[in-house]
Amino acid sequence: MITVDFYTTLRVELKTRQLKMSSNEIDVLQLLEKCEEKISKKFLHKLFDRDGKLIPGTMILVNGKNILHLKSTKTLVHANDIVSLFPPGGGG
């Protein structure tokens, strides 16, 4: 199972803390599309712009690494991987 954890505003807006997704190898974008289907709520527009780029202020980690250091939305995830989604707090 792949674990998808929702944090901060995404958790509140989607009323979802965590999803367990059964899937073989899949890329991040495809995984998140499956998550949308599973909870029947659209949220990709909160993460990506129309060109599919991450919206500044949004962060996606795969096993604790920012996907911008990996292959962005094409990063492959596998069983037992953990995907963390959130806009972190930017103020001080």
Partner 1 sequence: MKIFDDIFSRNVAFWKEKKQSILSESSILVAGMGGLGCVVAEILVRAGIGKLIIIDKKKIDKPDLNRQILYTIDNLNQYKVEAACRKLSSIHGLTTIIPLNISIQAKNFYKILTQYQFDGIADCLDNYESRFALEKLLLSDTFLVHGGVQEDYGQITTITRESIRLNDIYRGMENAKNFISISPQIVFCIGSLMADEILKNLWGEPALINQLLVVELSDFSFSKIKLSPLL
Contacting positions for partner 1 (CB under 8 A): 5, 7-9, 11-12, 17, 54, 56-57, 59, 61, 63-66, 68-69, 84, 86-92
Q: Using the minimum distance from each CB to partner 1, give the nearer residue, 1 or 12.
A: 12
From the CB of 25, what's the least distance to partner 1, in Å? 19
**At 90, is the secondary structure helix, strand, or coil?**
coil
From the CB of 63, what's the least distance to partner 1, in Å? 6
From the CB of 52, what's the least distance to partner 1, in Å? 14
> Considering all CA atoms of the chain, what is the largest pairwise distance in Å, rounded to the nearest integer?
40
* Cα 20 to Cα 34: distance, rounded to the nearest angstrom: 11
Q: Which whole-number Å values give the CA distances from 38 to 12, 69, 70, 74, 80, in the listed order? A: 17, 28, 26, 20, 19
Q: Using the minimum distance from each CB to partner 1, give the nearer residue, 37 or 49.
A: 49
